Homo-oligomer: A and B are copies of this chain.
Amino acid sequence: MTSVKSTNITWHKPLVTQPDRDERNGYKGVVLWFTGLPSSGKSTLAHQLERSLFDRGCNAYVLDGDNIRHRLNKDLSFSPEDRQENIRRIGEVANLFADAGIIVMAAFISPYLEDREQARALNDPGRFFEVYCKCSLETCEERDPKGLYKRARKGEVNAFTGISAPYEEPENPEITVETDKQSLYECVSEILVFLEEQGVIPASL
């Protein structure tokens, strides 16, 4: 990890705290960290869950390749160091969103255990939940909506997770969904029930 280079900074006490926000909102600001192989359904699931949470009155927001890799992290490649920095920054941004009272979903391959644990460590206990989007490599390759697996098999894409770069499975994810066995609706429901049980969102009527 990088050390802090700016030493001329002191901390302010906020006048609105995370518990203040939680109390008024009626749900908790938390991070849902989706991880899984390319085409395992992370982003699709996160966006569907965002909609379901919005329909239940919660402010939820998805961070994914669409709004991060093209923008905040557009200076980063897919090298191991840049992947690490990518996840480090996303972890920090996710923590800010949760602090602001939002149910934030980070949907990135995030192939390395250690990087995910560092993202977790930024948050207080009960504020970070790892969601493993489990899907066989075969099914991911069959889906391949962007033709990336095909290109990776031909050697046209460097360091492609699952083919030419490692994916480290979560050891103790809070939630596992099997996107090659469960429907999108089932996966969303499973996560909503989990969030209710954890007291993150109120039980549905």
- Give me the interface of A with B, judged by CB distance under 8 Å: 2-6, 8-12, 14-16, 20-21, 24, 43-44, 47-48, 50-51, 54, 59-67, 69-78, 82, 85, 89, 92-93, 95-97, 99-102, 122, 146, 148, 157
Contact = CB atoms under 8 A, between A and B. Distances in A.
A9 B65 contact: yes
A193 to B, nearest CB: 20
Closest 6 A-B residue pairs measured CB to CB?
A: A15-B51, A72-B92, A2-B75, A61-B100, A9-B65, A4-B74
A68 to B, nearest CB: 8
Contacts of A92: 71-72
Nearest to A46: B12
A52 B2 CA distance: 36
Nearest to A21: B59
